Structures are given as structure tokens and as C-alpha cells.
A and B are shown apart, each in its own frame.
Chain A
Amino acid sequence: MRGAAPAMQTKAPTCLTLGGVEFVADVSGALFHEAERLLIVADLHLEKGSAYAARRVLLPPYDTAATLARLAETARRLAPRAIVALGDSFHDVRAGERMADADRQTLADLQRGRDFLWIAGNHDPEAPAFAGGERRETLSFRGLMLRHEPMAGAGGEIAGHLHPVARVVTRSGGVRRRCFVSDGVRCVMPAFGAYAGGLNIRDPAFAPLFGESPIIAHVLGRSGVYGVGAHVCRPD
């Protein structure tokens, strides 16, 4: 076995442009628009752990706290004026009933002093009553449509739902990581939730969404986001 030296310098922020609008692809898996101070996250899947527990697969009950803590950390770092959650924020319609008081409090603290928008997803057509913020089916932002499920044939959009991951293999080895996938018109965001699984970007589900222009996977590393051509990413 051979190992590479562990140290890695921190990377410069990765820019992701959609229909001429510039975003920063954050290492946390969030998208940030600096001028408007708008933070976008997708697929939080809060209370996924307890959903499994209800079927007696007793996964550690810390996923909601972990997801919210990462969102809070990202918000501290980037100080957004508004946060948009692109649907599937709650793993199921009864997730709210199972959410612990401490986690509700974290969520409330996150919402204080800024706008918070819940876009509806297939897992959470309704957000729980205590969830605060505002509820929308979609949101339009600088000519881009923000929605949960990407729509083939639609114009510029930012969506989630598919949980993209890229498998990158070089001579040095291979990794499978969450990623943003974009062709400069549309962006499918990585899932943000601690227990959210991943779908390989070479899966047929992605094919109808992207056109002729080069598709880039912006892959989440430990210390930065790395742009890799989707055509060199491997299927699972």
C-alpha cells in the first residue's frame, strides 16, 4: 500500500455560474449568492434517523442535530440574509412530531433575523407547523427557477431531489463524494442531510436534464470543491 501525505492546502472558493448569475459552490454543499447574501441548500431530510427507528432500525438519533449544526456553521461563516431549503427538508410528513425540542430551538435560532423559505418536496409537501419561515412551491431568482425536482426542458433552474454523487478515479485511487452537477444553465445540488444517500451522476435519471454543453461535477472534498468533467466520472 502506498499513501499520499495527508496535508492539503485550503482551496480558493469555487465559482458556479448559471445563466450569467454567479454563485459560490460552498464546501458544505450549499450554494451562495454573495451580492444578495442568499444561501441555498437541498434535501436536508431532517428526522430520517427516527423514520428508520420507527421501523426498528435504530440508527443514531443525531442526524437532525448534525444537519442543523452544519447549516448553522455555514450560516455563521457566510452570514446570509435569506436561506432557501429546496424541498425534502423533512424526511416524511410526521417528521415534525418526532423532532426534539433542542433541534427545534436550533432551527428557530437559524431563522432569527433572516428570511427562511421552505420549498415543497415530494417527502414534505407540507412543512410542520412549528417550522417557521415561509412556504413556497417554487421561487424565481434572477431569471432562475428554484424548485425541488429538476424539470427537463425547463430553462435555468436550481434543484435538488436527485442527491448527486460523483465517482472520481485517477491513477492515485478513487473516491465517491457528493457534488453539484451543472451545465451552466441548470444546477442539481448535493443533498445536505447527514443521512441523505447519493445517486451517481451517470445514472440515467440525470441524462434528460443536461444539454450539449459540458457538464461539470463540482465535487465536495474535505477542504474545497473541485470541478471535474462529468464525462470522466465513473458509474458505480
Chain B
Amino acid sequence: MTRRPRLPALPEAFDQWFAARGWTARPHQLQLLAHAARGESALLVAPTGAGKTLAGFLPSLIDIAGTPRRARRGGVHTLYISPLKALAVDVARNLEAPIIDMGLPVRVETRTGDTPASRRQRQRRDPPDILMTTPEQLALLLGGPDAPHLFGALRRVVLDELHALVTSKRGDLLALDLARLRTIAPGLAATGLSATVRDTDELRRYLVAQDGLAQDASRPMAALVTAPPGAPPDLAMLDTRERLPWSGHGAAHAINEIYAAIKGAKMALVFVNTRAQAEAVFQQLWSINEDALPIALHHGSLDAGQRRRVEEAMAQGKLKGVVCTSTLDLGIDWGDVDLVLNVGAPKGSSRLMQRIGRANHRLDEPSRAILIPANRFEVLECRAAIDAANEGAQDSPPLRTGALDVLCQHILGMACAQPFNADDLYAEVISAEPYSQLAREDFDAALDFVATGGYALKTYDRFAKIRQGKDGLWRVANPRVAQSWRMNVGTIVESDMLKVRLVRGRGKQAPARASGGGGLLNYPARLPGQAAGKPGYTGPLGRGGRVLGEIEEYFLETLAPGDTFVFGGEILALEGIVENEALVSRAHADAPKVPSYAGGKFPLSTYLAERVRKLVSNPRNWKALPAQVREWLTIQKRVSRLPAPGDLLVETFPRGGRFYLVAYPFEGRLAHQTLGMLLTRRMERMGLRPLGFVASEYALAVWSLSDVAGVSMDALFSEDILGDDLEEWLQESALMKRTFRTCAVIAGLIERRFPGKEKTGRQVTMSTDLVYDVLRRHQPDHVLLRAARDDAATGLLDIARLSALLSRIQGRIVHEALERVSPLAVPVMLEIGREPVYGEAQDHILAEAAESLVAEAMG
């Protein structure tokens, strides 16, 4: 904020409305109003419960109410964008109160994927004053012919939960669409609503048109309005009376204490990091639920209808506890939550604070949260996160560089809207903050991709999707191109998901649940009237059953029919896979395979990692740690050492005829995995005969047949490991192929359902892996491969972070050659054999299967 504007007065009707509620307008609400009155864009940073949403809409309500209808140009006055469909609907509902109370002539409507076609058409013909929607729906509207009619008179855009939107490709797409809106409606002002973030300047730049040539300091920014922070949170770490586990991510050891905390609260949210943990914690809670507390489960794989039922039950105060993943991190206040329990690693301080904010939405009272570490390293992480949260230190990720695949989708969308001039579109694109540094040649490469695939071999001219006319304008080649674009708008690409459908087992009667009993009636998945399985079901693999949710195909690939797993809080047996559905039955099993499907696997933030390293290095910092953890670190100090914060500790020791190397970078599992892959390659070349590796959030262990103790660690960890080895491995990596598929879908190379998803009769499926293999051999610099590599650097492979690690530890590696395993090494050593080999060593798997064939044949 450069200067404090004089606060404007509210119009009388509004003043009275506030007064009737015993409220007065808050300073940040009035400041935002002042900026709006001057037509300025602004970012409002405010904690939960500060009246953020009302602040965002107040200027619109006042402006619309103050202008006689006939004096207004037709079209939408204010556009509201939310990351969640449900949030848009919820906010629209909340906005009705002041409009009805004051009798304002303001029409508010939502537009989501659920809006019926008739209403969409009517909205085009007769637009509402305020339209509430999602980034994907906005992209669709801007790609249609009505965009100038709808948005020509647009005055304001309100972007809710902006901090959450900008960290993904959705944020890239939204930035491009915001740029287009500014072209259609030049007088437009944008208002961003955000939780506290590390760097507000980034978000302020995101809201306004950028000038690509400007230097960092002089780049245009929206005004900043900051609401005062709420009461400091009341944070504690569970000091368990039980033995703290050495490894793993479960909370079994603390389940009684978690249960007691839920019992003592009005309503508790139990946050976990993965869907697998959610399932496990939910199971464990029910197995001890003697009071039949209404405890429910909420995660992204569950059927949407089921999630809605849980949310409604929360809103009505019918639940005592909800076990959930990041699906409940954002937005909507579903009820009177007064306690947050965070099971496992908090991962980042901003993440933790967002979750804590879900408890108690009154500003003047502290939010109460208890952190429950699942193992010893997580104790350190929890301690560091609590300290950071108490200091208010933020570590939200830096803003993205706009992705090329998203740009490709946008260019095609703009051609669908109306013919465009490439120079004009380029100028518009680089006015969007994430694309402000985009080179013209990269824009041209994306344009070429959209037109004819962007191939060096020019054979597809006659199949072009968009063509340049004699007038120099680019337009779609035919209406089917636009239709296909509309079907594929958006940047969220799910992995191949299969529906999980409940059928009866092979002639067995579905057995009763282990935890048994009527208590389950409280579990909203089976509220009365929700019969499990419909009548008229036709056979052992009939298709009549209820859909429980969706699950990643690659998880199911590890299961054979008859295998059991936990899903949606119950134990299920896989009966078979028919087309795109996994048919399951209820089962009773003592040791179900726990679903290890991905979800919420965020790495430990760089900031928190640094704090953990500091915490470990100095015994004076250990006072706040549980006695078990102090003892663990003390013994480590005696038998090996504790690394100084800037150093990398590497231990080597023999064990069971093998030689182990354990390193402790604390840089997150993704970066460690990549490092493990590269280290084993290098050790192979050095003749050390490595056998395998395992990575955790904190450490990395590699084992080999030859002793690594004599090797120079500086040479082993030298930065050039990121050269040819990385490139060579990357090419073949299954992670890279998955990343490529996502880019190919977003860019529009292939359709979301491509191919063989509508499996008809014979399932000859051609996968994008084949396309990737051909493309990387023949045109390694293709725009889609570049997009996939950019994603890999920050995504599944976290190369950016690995690279920072390697340069940080140059000359700072401390090697301890030990006689036996150290206390610090135990957690990562326990992971060995617990997790499956990643899909890289394909021949190894085939050889193993072939050997078993030989063994079988030889009797």
C-alpha cells in the first residue's frame, strides 16, 4: 500500500443494513471500496472470518444499485471466479441476504458444469448483473461468439482464493482469460481475495496487465489492502504416551488420543495427507468407536454425491468428526468446527495455517489445532511448523511461469471465439503475468502446434486445425475443431480413473462389517434410504451396483481379482475390471492391501526443511521435543554425528552382506527419488554394483554389493550428475511419460477420452507412451516435450529442488563411515521392502517372472 486512501462513506441503505445487524463496515472493506471507486485493481489479504467476500462484492452492489438500469449498458457488471464450483454456489447464496434485505435491483446467477443448457442460453441472451463461475467455465464463455456481448460492459472481476488458484495450471489459464477480458472490457478492474501469502507483490502483479519490458521493480501492480490478522492460533503437538513409531505414516499409535480429542470437541476436522491415510485413520477410529460418535470420511476419490452428504451433515452440525484430505482445505464453512487435528507431516507452514484456519471462523478467538506426528522425523517437522506458524512465517510456493500446453489450449480457444491476428494475440498473452516473459518464438511454436501439430516434417498442412486467411487472421478450419476444443477445456487431467462399483461377491453373501453395528448409520455414505446395491441385480458380475467413487487405474493394476483393499471406509474385494469400471464386493479381511494411490503427496517445503535442519543441528533447540525424540538424537550424536544446517551428512555402513549409503538432505521424497535414480546409475558405472534405493521425505538409502565407504562423496554427489545421466534416465522414465500425457491432453494433441476409453469390443488400446517414444526420437525439441520437461522439473521429479540441493552442498558433505546402522538411518531403512519398486526396471520384473516359470517347469 503506497498511501492510505481516505475512507469513503457507505450509501445510506448500506449503512442502515450494517447497523441493523449491529455491524459497522470494517476498514479493509471501505479501503477496497475506495480503490473500486477510482477504478483501481486491488488485492485484499485477510484471514478467514474477516468478511472477505462481502468486501469483494460491496463495490459492485453499491455501483449497480446507484446506477439506474437504463443508464447501464447491458451485460455482466461483475464476474466472480472461484476455484470450487460449490464455493461459487455458496457465495451466491450468501450474497442474496443483503440484496433481498435492501431490495437492491441486482441479479446474481451462477454458471457451473451443472447449469442446465436452457439457463445457459438465457444467460447469454439476458446476462445477470453478477455472474459467479469457475475458471473453466470462463474459458468456455470466452471461446464462444457471445463473449463481447456478455463482457463488453464488464466493470469488475473478483477472484476468490487467489493464493490457491495461481499455484497451478488453472492459474495460467485464468491469467490468459483475464488478459482477454481486459481486451474486451478495457475499463475493467480486478479484485483478488487471498489468504496470507509469502509474497503479495506476485499476486498484485497477477491482477493487472503487465508490460513485458519493465524491470521487476517497476512492473505494474494492483493496490494492496490488508486486514488485521486474527487472534494467534492455539497450536500444540500431541505428546503421545505411546511409543513413537520409527517410520510409516499411520496414526495407529495415537488413535485413542485422537478419539478422545474428537470426543471432547464440538466438531473436529482430522486432516491427513493422502487418501490412503484417510482410509486407515477412519477405519481405526471406527474400530474403537464405542460411543458411536458420528464420524465421517471425506476425500477426492469418493463419489461426489457422498461428499455432498458429508458436507451437509457438517453444516447441520450432525457430525462430531470428519477425516479428510486437502479436499476440505479451501473455502466453504461447512459448520462449527472448533478443533483441527493434523495427522502426519504438515509439509509447509502456509499449508498448515490454511488448515488451522478451518477451525473457528471468528476472528477474535484463537483457532485450536493439535498436530499428530506419525513418526520421529515428523515430530521434528511438526515442531518446526508450529514455530513457523507462531511467527507467522509464510512459505507459499512462488508464482509459476506460464505453461506452454495451457497456452496452446488458449490459442485454439481464441480462434474458436473469433478470427485473430497473431501479433495482437501475442501482445495480449504477454500482458498476463505468468506469460509476461514469453518469447515470441515460443508463442509462434505454440501457434504452429495448434495449426498443424508443430512438426518439423510439414505433412499435415491439409489437416490444419486453424488456418491463416488472406486477411492475415487465423480462424478455425471447421466447426468440429471448435466442438472438440469445448469438450477438452480445462487444465485438470485426472490420471486414468476407474469407477468403483459395488456388486455382490462371487455367490457369497456380503459379510457384515468388522467394526460392526448400527453406529455406521451415522456414516453418511449410508444414510437411510441409501440402500447398498439395487434390486434387480443380475449375476455375480452384474453391473447394477452403486458407484462408490473412483480410483486410479495404476493402483488397480497392482491388484488381482480376489485381492482386498480399503476404500470409502470399507474393506472391498476386487471382483474384476469390466471396461472402465472396477467391480468390487464387500469383504472381510484381516490384512487388506492398503490403497497406496497417490493424492496429496506434497513435498516438504524448502523453508520448513531448512528449519528442520536447524532444529536437528543444535541440542539447545531440543527442549520443546518429546523425550523419546531427544533420546534418539542424543544417541545419534554419540555414535555418528548431527549435521550442521548447511551440511549434508552421508553415512556408510555394512549390513547383512550389503553396503549401505544413507544421506539426509531433507529435501522431500520427489527430489530424493530422482537423486536415488541418478546415484545408482553413477555407482553402476563406478563398478559399485548398486542393488536398489529407497527415498523418504528426509533421507535416501542406497545399497550395493561393493563398499562405497572408500569413494569420494564430493565426486559421487557432484553437480554434473544432472547432465547426461539425468537426460538419459528422463527419456525412459514412466513419470515423464505420465507428465507428457497430461501436457498432450491440455494442449489438445489428444482428447481427454483418447484413446480406447470407449472400449468397444476388442480393447486394442494405443497409449500416449507410444506417441511419446516416437516424438522424443524424432523431434526432441517439440513444444510438448518442452512443456513436459518444464513440468517434470517442478513436478514429479522436482529437478529444480535437486539442483538447488546439489549446489548447496558442494564442499559441505560430511561423511561418517560407520560399523553399523545409526539411529538416524533406522526410519529410512525400515521403508525398504515396504514400498514397491517403481516401474523403471521393466526387464528386472520380466526376468523375475521368467525365473519363476523355470522353477515351475523344473518342479
Contacts and interface: CB of A to CB of B under 8 A. Distances in A.
Interface of A: 1-8, 49-50, 53-54, 56-63, 65-66, 98, 100, 162-163, 167-177, 194-200, 203, 205, 216, 219, 221-224, 226-229, 232, 234-236
B837 A229 contact: no
Interface string B654-696: 0000000000000001000100110011001000011111110
5 contacts: A6-B677, A168-B846, A173-B558, A195-B766, A216-B853
Contacts of A195: 766, 770-771, 774
A198 B844 contact: no
A108 B763 CA distance: 34
Contact of B845 (A49, A58, A168): A168
A217 B466 CA distance: 46
Contacts of B557: 167, 169, 174, 176, 234, 236
Contacts of B23: none
Nearest to B693: A3
Contact of B856 (A58, A63, A229): A229
Which of B455, B481, B681, B684 has its CB near the most chain A CB atoms (within 10 A)? B455
Contacts of A56: 463, 465, 477, 480-481, 484
Nearest to A194: B774
B680 A170 contact: no
Contacts of B832: 2
Contacts of B465: 56, 58
Contact of A172 (B577, B778, B836): B836
A8 B842 CA distance: 10
A224 B689 CA distance: 21
Contacts of B695: 1
A199 B762 contact: yes
B756 interface: yes
Contacts of A2: 692-694, 831-833, 835-838
B567 to A, nearest CB: 20
A6 B684 contact: yes
B749 A57 contact: yes
B542 interface: no
Nearest to A48: B766
B762 A60 contact: no
B837 A3 contact: yes
Nearest to A6: B681
Q: Which 5 A-B pairs have the closest CB atoms?
A: A197-B766, A58-B453, A4-B841, A62-B778, A226-B846
B774 A57 contact: no
B761 to A, nearest CB: 9
B441 interface: no
Which of B457, B767, B779, B849 has its CB near the most chain A CB atoms (within 10 A)? B849
B118 interface: no
A221 B846 contact: yes
B848 interface: yes
Interface in B149-189: none
Contacts of B576: 235
Interface string B341-380: 0000000000000000000000000000000000000000
Nearest to A99: B459
B754 A57 contact: yes
Contact of B763 (A8, A196, A200, A219): A200
B845 A170 contact: yes
A174 B839 contact: yes
A168 B842 CA distance: 10
A197 B767 contact: yes
Interface in B107-134: none
A195 B684 CA distance: 33
A236 to B, nearest CB: 7
B777 interface: yes
B764 interface: yes
B850 A228 contact: yes
A92 B839 CA distance: 34
Contacts of B835: 1-2
Contacts of A219: 846, 849
Given A66-B774, A170-B845, A197-B756, A3 B767 contact: no
B457 A229 contact: no
Contacts of B460: 50, 53, 58, 61
A18 B694 CA distance: 44
Given A4-B841, A222-B842, 10 more contacts: A1-B669, A2-B832, A2-B833, A3-B838, A57-B754, A61-B455, A194-B773, A198-B764, A216-B853, A226-B847
A97 B832 CA distance: 56
B762 A66 contact: no
Contacts of A170: 845, 848-849, 852
B679 to A, nearest CB: 10
Given A6-B841, A195-B770, A228 B481 contact: no
A100 B778 CA distance: 15
Given A6-B680, A8-B843, A175-B839, A60 B775 contact: yes
Which of A57, A198, A235 has its CB near the most chain B CB atoms (within 10 A)? A57
B684 A168 contact: no
A193 B684 CA distance: 33
B770 A194 contact: yes
A236 B561 CA distance: 11
Given A58-B463, A234-B560, A199 B845 contact: no
A58 B744 CA distance: 11
Contacts of A228: 846, 849-850, 853
Given A6-B684, A58-B452, A232 B457 contact: no
Nearest to A232: B849
B459 A50 contact: yes
Contact of A1 (B694, B775, B847, B856): B694
B840 interface: yes
Contacts of A4: 691-692, 837, 840-841, 844
Nearest to A219: B846
B749 A62 contact: no
Nearest to A54: B463
B755 interface: yes
Interface in B52-71: none
A177 B763 contact: no
B132 to A, nearest CB: 34
A7 B764 CA distance: 32
A163 B846 CA distance: 19
A198 B691 CA distance: 32
Contacts of B690: 5
Contacts of B779: 60, 62
